[in-house]
């Protein structure tokens, strides 16, 4: 119970719970859309999804400052690739929150002069760029970990044993490809922080791609991906050891 209270007392914890609920509603609406007996439930879920989305925009008003602080921290990293990727990701994240804040002000009537559709597209673009840079960071970290594992003599023996015990695989596929896949899977298995972050970013990627019309997905796929990424976000916040660093 103490862990639940501690989690929900954090602004990030509340936002991730609301986000998971929002995408769970979106997925449920998609699954129930053709059921006439659930029409009232679908309408209630649509109303709940809209209210949660509006509430989340209010809770995110201070996130721009957090992203700027993250930019300053990222610029101190010694690894130039990580510094570039994380800095660019946080800059675009800050720009996304600025657009998001303006859209909130437009929705509540504080600012009426801005083009809602245009700023919504700008927000999605910034979100997409941020995710692309985060995925680039994930790929770079995975490659670095794979190189480290590839140099380990104990792992080389394990990989050679795997290849020798799977001759039927070697006959069908390229042995080098099988070795690469084995190395990749073992790396992700031994580094759950990187694996979770990669899955989370890939799932989130479908959201701006759909909004920008780059890759149109069904509402069900967007809802499912958003729910999965939200659950991973809740898990990594509840267990900081599963959060990727830096």
Number of domains the chain contains: 1
Report the alpha-carbon distance of residue 193 to residue 191 in Å, rounded: 5
Q: Quick check: pTM over 0.85?
A: yes
pLDDT digits (tens), the chain, 246 positions: 666 666 666 778 889 999 999 999 999 999 999 998 999 999 999 999 999 998 888 888 788 888 999 999 999 999 999 999 999 999 999 999 999 999 988 888 888 888 989 999 999 999 999 999 999 999 999 999 999 988 877 777 777 776 666 655 444 455 677 778 888 999 999 999 999 999 999 999 999 999 999 999 999 999 999 999 999 999 999 999 999 988
The confidence score (pLDDT) of residue 6 equals 67
Q: What is the pLDDT of residue 90?
A: 96
Provide the pLDDT for residue 172: 47
Supply the range of the domain harboring residue 39. 2-242
């Amino acid at each position: 119970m103490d862990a639940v209270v501690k989690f929900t007392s954090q602004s990030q914890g509340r936002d991730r719970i609301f986000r998971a609920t929002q995408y769970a509603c979106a997925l449920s609406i998609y699954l129930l859309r053709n059921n006439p007996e659930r029409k009232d439930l679908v309408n209630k879920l649509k109303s709940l999804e809209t209210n949660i989305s509006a509430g989340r925009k209010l809770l995110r008003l201070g996130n721009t400052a957090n992203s700027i602080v993250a930019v300053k921290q990222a610029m101190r990293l010694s690894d130039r690739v990580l510094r570039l990727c994380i800095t660019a990701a946080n800059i675009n994240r800050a720009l996304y929150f600025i657009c998001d804040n303006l859209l909130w002000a437009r929705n509540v009537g504080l600012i009426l002069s801005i083009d809602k559709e245009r700023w919504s597209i700008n927000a999605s673009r910034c979100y997409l760029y941020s995710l692309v840079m985060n995925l680039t960071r994930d790929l770079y970290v995975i490659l670095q970990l794979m190189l480290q594992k590839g140099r380990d003599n104990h792992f080389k023996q394990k990989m050679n044993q795997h290849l020798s015990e799977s001759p039927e695989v070697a006959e069908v596929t390229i042995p080098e490809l099988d070795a690469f896949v084995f190395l990749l899977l073992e790396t992700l298995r031994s580094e759950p922080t990187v694996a979770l972050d990669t899955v989370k970013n890939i799932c989130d990627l479908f959201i701006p791609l759909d909004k920008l019309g780059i890759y149109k997905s069904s509402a069900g796929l967007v809802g499912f991906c958003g729910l999965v990424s939200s659950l991973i976000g809740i898990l990594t916040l509840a267990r900081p050891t599963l959060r990727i660093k830096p």
